[in-house]
Amino acid sequence: MPVTIGRRELLAALCGAAAAWPLTVRAQQPAKLPTIGFLVSGTPATHSRWVAAFVQRLRELGWSEGQTVAIDVRWAEGRAERAAQIAADFVRMKVDALVTSGTPTTLAAKQATTVIPIVFVSVNDPVGTGLVASLARPGGNITGLSNQIKDLAGKRLELLRVLLPNLRRLAILVNVGNPAAVLDMREVEAAAGPLGLEVAILEIRNAKDIAPAFETPKDRAEALYVQGDLLTISNRTAINTWALKARLPTVYAYREDVDAGGLMSYGARTADLFRRAADHVDKILRGEKPSNIPVEQPTKFNLVLNLTTAKALGLTIPWTLLARADEVIE
């Protein structure tokens, strides 16, 4: 016998189904992935290799991009206003962790949020620039990894003196618009005094200042200390071209600058710092507070020499310096 459903029963059934539908859809939707906002100070050309090291280490720690974590990488391209805009975007997105590279971008992130955990990479002096209260107890929502560029200023000058024992006049190329770069410059000046070196400061603020800066030292400086900063990193090829033209041996913090034609570098391996930053982020995503994670410093420093550049400058690198080198580019 056919079953007859009354109008009232039919409406009740439809309403019940409608009420249950959103619950069914909601149950089927995947949970939101934890999101990392990565504010990179440079461009893909200058920093993509380092960002890749970070992502690879995250994968080793069990975080697979697109499956267990979302990573939103954005490039500040060396522009302070763009860094501030990106940081504000990440705050509006309510990312679970914000990773930054370099001092200016980290300062922009700090101004944008006091709540979202921030992990910085390759910052020169996090205490001196006011990012953290101390290395052991950073406090607040920020922790990360320092590159100790300024702490190695004296060591770089000592190595340069081994190569150039008669060195008396040193030029320092520095982006005075970056507070961390200015701190490094002061350390170089302080280290130069006991070595009997006369120092000339070549101030730059943008790429257009680089060529004019070399017009001053070429007749009197005998070597050039290039402060490690996004501006000098982005223009490393031009700086090395001008330095070679001016017959100036160069010393850097980053090995990549020596790859691009610089003479010598001494500093931490930046890719390693980016890898270790992933460990910090892993801890934060698993519930640890950044205030309880000490700021880490490099554990190994590499001396890199470029024999091709030395030959172009008419220099013979002493065997004692070659023996100390971790890498020699020929």
Is residue 108 domain-shared with residue 254, that is, in the same domain? no
Q: Is 77 exposed, middle or buried, given 0-12, 13-18 or 19+ CB atoms closer than 10 A?
A: middle
Is residue 87 domain-shared with residue 182, that is, in the same domain? no
CB 156 within 8 A of CB 134: no
The tens place of each residue's pLDDT in the chain, 330 residues long, gives 444 445 444 444 444 444 444 444 444 445 789 999 999 998 998 899 999 999 999 999 999 999 999 999 999 988 889 999 999 999 999 999 999 998 889 999 999 999 999 999 998 889 988 999 999 999 999 999 998 777 788 999 999 999 999 999 999 999 998 888 888 899 999 999 999 999 999 999 999 999 999 886 555 899 999 998 888 988 999 999 999 999 999 999 999 999 999 999 999 999 999 999 999 999 999 999 999 999 999 888 999 999 999 999 999 999 999 999 999 998
Q: Please tell me what DSSP assigns to residue 265.
A: E
In a domain, 29, yes or no: no
Pairwise CA distance, residues 231 & 297, whole Å: 23
| CA 309 from centroid of its chain's CA atoms | 26
Is residue 280 domain-shared with residue 264, that is, in the same domain? no
Is residue 163 domain-shared with residue 129, that is, in the same domain? no
Domain count, the chain: 2
* CATH number (domain holding residue 251): 3.40.50.2300
In a domain, 84, yes or no: yes
Is residue 289 domain-shared with residue 228, that is, in the same domain? no
Pairwise CA distance, residues 189 & 54, whole Å: 34
Identify the domain containing residue 88 by its residue range. 35-147+270-299
